[in-house]
A and B are shown apart, each in its own frame.
Chain A
Amino acid sequence: MIRISFLLLFLVSISLNAQNNAIGFGEKLTYTASYNMSGILTDLAEVTMETSAVKTSKTTLLRLKCKATTYSKWDNFFKIRDLYESYVNPKTLKPYLYNRDINEGGYYKNMKYTFSHKTKTVKTVQRKKSNWVQKKTVPIGADTKDIISTLYTIRTFDLTNLSSGTSKDFTILFDREEIKAKVTYLGKETISTALGTKTCYKISLGSTNSNTVNGTLWLTADENKIPVYGKFKIPVGTGELKIKSASGLKN
């Protein structure tokens, strides 16, 4: 019983603390994505995560943009030019509009979500090569977000007083389907990065259903909570994401 009440207290405190004090306008994080096999690293792509202010006639929104581009040596073999962006409320990171434009080795897909939080629906438009268009409206839950705003939302949680093993569930809308994901806090760890030696919060990302861990992220244990290092499971070897540079941080 005490455990349950603590859990409830934690969930309440998490929802109270889910205000954005970590992400500001004009932040730019650059990463190197590499493939690690038996300790031998091969650089694959550059990943950038940017935020900027978008002013409409009514309000100001936060634009979250993630871009993945393969390094020139890969372009002739498997060229990737992926762009994900989400226009969100700067304070709560609630998404209003989401764009995904992917070009992976000749495969092209564009997906647009327009969120309507009042009616709890998302209007989706999917485009593929040769002007193939499909429109669909899908119902969503109250806390469903797109993948980009979910990634940024993780940074807004107050992790200072958490005990390791505490987890939080998310619902992500991806490919017009709601996916349940789980983020688990694993404790603090000090790692060396391109930005210097940093004390980090270590968190794992996984699916709620299968209890498998798909990736581990290290967020700096300061106000900004920027992801400095990530490890992801792939069929052979591991994928790694290492920070190269960070600018325009809020704190």
Chain B
Amino acid sequence: MKKLFTILALIASIFAIIFSVLPLSNLAIIPAIGALAFGIIAFYLSKKEGNVKKIIQFTFILTFIALAITTYKSIFTKTEVTNTDAIEAIEDKLEAESMQELEDLDIEIDESELEDIPFDE
């Protein structure tokens, strides 16, 4: 039993660390809570036997590091869009191409229908 909880705590803490370094860092909370729960159970079971293994303390350290990274990232990482030069270039290119194409198309719209639509130009 003690061994099982130790292994579960270790696996959960490793997942917590992996998630925390990925952009999905918020999700690290789920395995971190699991790691803490399994770790505490493993710790008490070991304490009863009077032989607490270092590996359990190691899982606690991993979990705390994961939680620290997650908290840091959620506070200091800005959710912003950068690197939009390429898509802006595509937008301009497509617009130019489309204008050419639309000029060649035979579009029948009754202009009087459009009179009540205010133009924002």
Contact residues of A: prevailing secondary structure:
strand
Residues of chain B at interface, number, CB under 8 A = 39
Query: In the complex the two chains form, what is the Cα distance from A37 to B117 in whole Å?
Result: 43
Instruction: Flag if A69 contacts B87 (CB, 8 Å).
Output: yes
Contact B87 A67 (CB under 8 A): yes
CB neighbours (8 Å) of A25 from chain B are 117-121
Q: Is A209 on the interface with B (CB-CB < 8 A)?
A: no
* A248 vs B119: C-alpha distance when bound (angstroms): 11
Does B84 sit within 8 A of A, measured CB to CB?
yes
Number of interface residues of A (CB under 8 A): 48
Interface string of A34-61 (1 = CB under 8 A from B): 0101101111001000000110111111
Output the least CB separation between A184 and chain B (Å): 29
Please measure, in the bound complex, the distance between the C-alpha atom of A70 and the C-alpha atom of B86, giving whole angstroms.
Answer: 13
A74 CB within 8 Å of chain B? yes
Closest A residue by C-beta to B23: A73
Contacts A25-B119, A53-B120, A59-B111 given; indicate if A69 touches B27 (C-beta within 8 A).
no
**Contact string, B83-103, partner A, CB cutoff 8 A, digits 1/0?**
110110011001100110111
Distance of B121 from chain A, by nearest CB (Å): 6
- Complex Cα distance, B25 from A160, in Å, reads 43
Instruction: Encode contact with B along A198-210: 1 for CB under 8 Å, 0 otherwise.
Output: 0000000000000
Chain A CB within 8 A of B77 CB: yes
Contact A77-B81, Cβ < 8 Å, known A25-B119, A83-B87: no
Contact of A54 among B91, B102, B114 (CB under 8 A): B102
- Given the known interface contacts A58-B107, A61-B107, A72-B82, the answer about A42 and B99 at a Cβ–Cβ threshold of 8 Å is no
Do the beta carbons of A53 and B107 come within 8 Å of each other? no
What 1/0 mask marks residues of chain B from 1 to 40 whose CB sits below 8 Å from any chain A CB? 0000000000000000000001111110110000000000
- Cα(A239)–Cα(B113), bound, Å: 39
Whole-angstrom distance between the Cβ of B29 and the nearest chain A Cβ: 6
Q: Which residue in chain B gives the minimum CB-CB distance to A98?
A: B98
Contact between B101 and A83 (Cβ–Cβ < 8 Å)?
no
Given contact pairs A35-B24, A72-B82, A118-B106, enumerate 14 new A-B contacts (beta carbons under 8 Å): A25-B120, A26-B120, A40-B30, A53-B119, A54-B102, A59-B109, A60-B109, A63-B95, A65-B91, A69-B84, A70-B81, A77-B22, A91-B114, A101-B90
Leading 7 A-B pairs by shortest Cβ distance = A26-B120, A81-B87, A73-B23, A72-B82, A59-B109, A25-B120, A43-B79
What are 7 contact pairs spanning A and B, CB under 8 A? A24-B118, A40-B26, A42-B27, A61-B109, A69-B81, A85-B98, A90-B117
